[in-house]
Amino acid sequence: MEILTTGEMEQADRLAIAGGTSGFALMLRAGQAVADTAADLAEEGSILVVAGCGNNGGDGFVAATELAARGYDVSVILMCERSSLKGDAALAAKGWKGPVLPCDLSTLGSPALIIDALFGAGLNRPVMGDARAMIEAIIANGAPVLSIDLPSGINGTTGAIMGAAIRATETVTFFRRKPAHLLLPGRIFCGRVRVADIGITDAVLHKIRPITFENIPDYWQSVFPVPPIDGHKYARGHAVVVSGNLTSTGAARLSARSALRMGAGLVSVLSPDDALGANAAALTAVMVRRMNDAAGLAEILEDRRINACVIGPGAGIGEETRALVTTAIAAKRALVLDADALTSFADAPGRLFETIKQSGSADIILTPHEGEFHRLFSEMIEKHPLRSKLERVRAAAERSEAVVLLKGPGTVVASPDGRATIAANAPPWLATAGSGDVLSGMIGGLLAQRVPAFEAACMGVWMHGETGLEAGPGLIAEDLPEVLPAVLRRLYDRFGVDY
Ligand SMILES: NC(=O)C1=CN([C@@H]2O[C@H](COP(=O)(O)OP(=O)(O)OC[C@H]3O[C@@H](n4cnc5c(N)ncnc54)[C@H](O)[C@@H]3O)[C@@H](O)[C@H]2O)[C@@H](O)CC1
Ligand SMILES: [K+]
């Protein structure tokens, strides 16, 4: 499902209006959708609408009118003079026949529900003065809040808090979600999000050409790998994972096991001599091969059947790892660079980006967490400190010419061609030691099955989140590959794949 920035949503409104649906008709539908949700949230008791001076307030007036017509006890507070309302908002206010209370914090009372119609997409500066005092009074009131379009104070495009913001119980937005409904901190402030149809047709998307999407199976279903009945293991690819030395081998094994569970036909751990025994003793279906340095890796990669490579989990930081990375890039294998493979370039990220650029490879994925991301892209972050996570990852993909996956709550994946996805399915207990190693392996397993890099990264992130949900609170990283079959089975059922 597409995600629209507030600018793109304005364009959608304009295109719908140009197509013959008036702005006021859109507002009427928006207000009615809000009234429907309000009726679900407050079966009895009074409803207070707090309206701002723009069209978000207009939606609030329509909802108030609709709810009063349904017999609810509704009151409206307006943050400006009624006479200063313009356009559709002024028309909407005309439809409201009840009193309009001035902005007085003492008149909030004890409503069963507050409808937040202060600011929506038009919020364009930090909230101060009366508006901020009102937001704080609504928070202090404690009544459930239904926000229209966005919780007031949240920037729709970045998800940032502009000074102060309402914490909604539920948010009703229109046509498509906005980045703030998925990006943190916005997502936390939205509560449940409902997307209402207000009569804008999907045809407008052909003109808008959105490049941001929710990371859900619908988005990558068309490239989800399903082995054919007559397939054999080599057709499912061979992934290799580079192991660290004797004291740090677990991460690579965890990653390798995840790649195998994800469906790679064969997976090998490439191990230095000192760790061969440890790796061999701990692995069964995953194979072990000796590999001591970049020359050894180059030799192994002469086998064209090895088509995907994961470097980073427990690999160690330094020149040796840098050499392994440049060797794998030069060998043009689909590649996941994680953890130590990224930190090894912290002092000279340009060297990594230049190597990627020269290779012309489209199948390289960088999977940093926030710390590693800062180390690699510090120059860019210093230049544009206020960018949202979405904007930062998109710029990083453009800079590195690789797919960039920034881990954390609300993982964002971006492609150098501009496409990006935001995930919202990961539970917080997924933040545990080794979880990232599993993710890199899952993606490696998808690359081995020849899923294109951007989709493999998106798919891996979503599946990783689902395995977190499946394993539940208390999970440890080892649990994640073990519950992957259950997640895959559900996906097969959802996609209607026979098995
Ligand atoms: N035709 C349309 O464009 C539609 C718009 N809709 C609604 O309209 C909303 C957008 O309306 P608007 O563009 O009028 O914007 P808003 O109603 O979100 O707010 C804009 C007003 O707030 C002021 N403002 C912005 N930041 C402020 C701050 N920090 N402190 C004080 N004042 C501030 C602006 O100067 C402007 O007067 C959407 O969120 C949605 O709820 C819906 O009715 C559907 C149709
Ligand atoms: K609002």
pLDDT tens, position by position, 349-365: 999 999 999 999 889 99
Query: Mean per-residue pLDDT for 333-347?
Result: 97
Burial of 248 (0-12, 13-18, 19+ CB in 10 A): middle
Distance 172 CA to ligand 2 centre (A): 9
Distance 210 CA to ligand 2 centre (A): 23
3-state secondary structure of 434: coil
338 close to ligand 1 (CB < 6 Angstrom): no
129 close to ligand 1 (CB < 6 Angstrom): no
Model confidence band, residue 405 (pLDDT cutoffs 50, 70, 90): very high
The answer to whether residues 445 and 239 touch, using CB atoms and an 8 Å cutoff, is: yes
The answer to whether residues 401 and 353 touch, using CB atoms and an 8 Å cutoff, is: yes
> Which residue(s) pair with 267 in the sheet?
239
Distance 167 CA to ligand 2 centre (A): 10
53 close to ligand 1 (CB < 6 Angstrom): yes
315 close to ligand 1 (CB < 6 Angstrom): no
Distance 147 CA to ligand 2 centre (A): 5
Distance 196 CA to ligand 1 centre (A): 18
54 close to ligand 1 (CB < 6 Angstrom): yes
Question: Which residues make up each annotated binding site for AMP?
Answer: 407-411, 436
Model confidence band, residue 230 (pLDDT cutoffs 50, 70, 90): confident
Please count the other Cβ atoms lying within 10 Å of the Cβ belonging to residue 140: 9
The best mutation among 8, 26, 55, 136 to test binding of ligand 1, ranked by most ligand atoms within 8 Å of the C-beta, falls on 55
Domain boundaries, the chain: 6-210, 217-495
The best mutation among 119, 136, 146, 177 to test binding of ligand 1, ranked by most ligand atoms within 8 Å of the C-beta, falls on 119
6 close to ligand 1 (CB < 6 Angstrom): no
pLDDT by residue (tens digit) across 418-467?
Answer: 999 999 999 999 999 999 999 999 999 999 999 999 999 999 999 999 99
The pLDDT value given to residue 44: 86
Of the candidates 183, 112, 189, 184, the one whose C-alpha atom is nearest the C-alpha of residue 150 is 189
pLDDT by residue (tens digit) across 88-131?
Answer: 999 999 999 999 998 888 889 999 999 999 999 999 999 999 99
The pLDDT value given to residue 233: 80
The pLDDT value given to residue 385: 80
The best mutation among 9, 32, 123 to test binding of ligand 1, ranked by most ligand atoms within 8 Å of the C-beta, falls on 123
The pLDDT value given to residue 292: 96
Transcribe 366-430 into DSSP letters: EE--HHHHHHHHHHHHHHSTT--HHHHHHHHHHHHTSEEEE-SSS-EEE-TTS-EEE-----GGG
Residue of 287 and 231 predicted with greater confidence: 287
The pLDDT value given to residue 232: 81
Domain at 6-210, CATH from 3.40.50.10260, 2.30.30.100, 3.90.660.10, 3.40.50.980: 3.40.50.10260
The pLDDT value given to residue 229: 80
pLDDT by residue (tens digit) across 77-86?
Answer: 999 999 999 9
- Among all bound ligands, the one having the nearest atom to the CA of 129 is 1
For the CA of 162, the closest atom of ligand 1 is 29
312 close to ligand 1 (CB < 6 Angstrom): no
The answer to whether residues 175 and 9 touch, using CB atoms and an 8 Å cutoff, is: yes
The pLDDT value given to residue 227: 86
Question: Which residues make up each annotated binding site for K(+)?
Answer: 56, 116, 152
The pLDDT value given to residue 377: 95
| pTM, 2 dp | 0.95
**Spatial distance between the Cα atoms of 213 and 215, rounded to a whole number of angstroms:** 6
Q: What percent of the chain has pLDDT over 90?
A: 94
Model confidence band, residue 41 (pLDDT cutoffs 50, 70, 90): very high
Query: Mean per-residue pLDDT for 374-388?
Result: 89
In the chain, the largest separation of any two C-alpha atoms, in whole Å, equals 82
The answer to whether residues 219 and 462 touch, using CB atoms and an 8 Å cutoff, is: no
Question: Which residues make up each annotated binding site for (6S)-NADPHX?
Answer: 55-59, 120-126, 149, 251, 314, 369, 437
CATH number at 217-495? 3.40.1190.20
For the CA of 58, the closest atom of ligand 1 is 43
The enclosing H or E element of 194 equals: strand 192-196
117 close to ligand 1 (CB < 6 Angstrom): no
For the CA of 17, the closest atom of ligand 1 is 1
The pLDDT value given to residue 498: 87
Which residue has tokens 């010419």? 401
Using the predicted structure, report yes or no on whether residue 386 has a pLDDT greater than 80.
no
pLDDT by residue (tens digit) across 170-206?
Answer: 999 999 999 999 999 999 999 999 999 999 999 999 9
| Signed CA dihedral, 49, 151, 95, 39: sign only | negative
pLDDT by residue (tens digit) across 238-255?
Answer: 999 999 999 999 999 999
- Among all bound ligands, the one having the nearest atom to the CA of 120 is 1
